[in-house]
A and B are shown apart, each in its own frame.
Chain A
Amino acid sequence: AQKITQTQPGMFVQEKEAVTLDCTYDTSDQSYGLFWYKQPSSGEMIFLIYQGSYDEQNATEGRYSLNFQKARKSANLVISASQLGDSAMYFCAMRDSGAGSYQLTFGKGTKLSVIP
């Protein structure tokens, strides 16, 4: 079974609107971390936001917030006030102890396109 599932291959959003990118995960660990990265066309992986499994409050970083629903095992990324520069691939990732080396496991990504 996939550890990280991103069901939206592509999303469109109007500039200045908010958009939610979905991410569900699967782990049997009690302690784990969830990450979102942005990958523009240049290829660099840009860290956006982190949510720990024990964090009671949803993480926020500027225009990015993470809607963490632990019981549903979902960690959706919300981008508010979309900008043209937000057009990129977005990857959800998880780190747990299952693999032994605390490596990040990535979802397949969602391509976000911001429309002027």
Chain B
Amino acid sequence: GAVVSQHPSWVICKSGTSVKIECRSLDFQATTMFWYRQFPKQSLMLMATSNEGSKATYEQGVEKDKFLINHASLTLSTLTVTSAHPEDSSFYICSPTSGGVVKEADTQYFGPGTRLTVL
């Protein structure tokens, strides 16, 4: 399977600070990046979709000014949680895909996730 890395794997921060999460696809070019959030004992919820070099498309209810996504290269995407609050504590997972348009059959691989705890 594809090799995807996320950094950091876990982070604890104070309320009001910003946290940047990096996602790298190590062995393929990620033209599309999906960012998911998973609260404890819940399923993955898509936050946003970004294509390399374009602005991200956010799902309903996700604040684009709070969750800044940058996808400036084919191997790196970042998610910045700005002015984090305790309710932002969650598990954030990136999922890069290659190819121009994701097809139904394309296997989707995931990063190992970043556990964010906001005090």
Among A14-22, A47-55, A67-75, A76-84, the stretch in contact with B: A47-55
Judge whether A47 and B101 touch: CB under 8 Å.
no
Name the contact of B42 in the complex, choosing from A33, A53, A108 (C-beta under 8 A). A108
Given known A103-B34, A106-B43, contact A47–B104 (CB-CB < 8 A): no
Within 8 A of A (CB), among B78-105: 91, 93, 95, 101-105
Known: A43-B91, A43-B115, A45-B110. A33 touches B46 (CB 8 A): no
Q: CB distance A101 to B49 under 8 Å?
A: yes
Contacts of B110 in A (CB 8 A): 37, 44-45
A31 vs B46: C-alpha distance when bound (angstroms):
21
Any B CB within 8 A of the CB of A64: no
From residue B95, how far is it (CB to closest CB) to chain A in Å? Answer: 8
Q: With A44-B112, A45-B93, A103-B34 known to touch, is A52 a contact of B105 (CB < 8 Å)?
A: yes
Whether B105 contacts A102 by the Cβ 8 Å rule is no
Decide if the interface of chain B is mainly helix, strand, loop or mixed. loop
Contact B113 A43 (CB under 8 A): yes
Instruction: Note all chain A residues with C-beta closer than 8 A to B46.
Output: 103-105
> Are the CB atoms of B112 and A50 closer together than 8 Å?
no
Q: Per-residue CB proximity of B9-46 to A under 8 Å, as 1/0?
A: 00000000000000000000000101000100011111
- In angstroms, Cα B24 to Cα A62, docked, is 29
B43 touching A101 by the CB < 8 A rule? no
With A32-B104, A53-B104, A101-B49 as known contacts, state yes or no: A47 contacts B109, CB within 8 Å.
yes
Kindly report which residue of chain B lies nearest to residue A4, judged by CB atoms. Answer: B43
Chain B residue numbers with a CB within 8 Å of A109 are 43
Contact A95 B112 (CB under 8 A): no
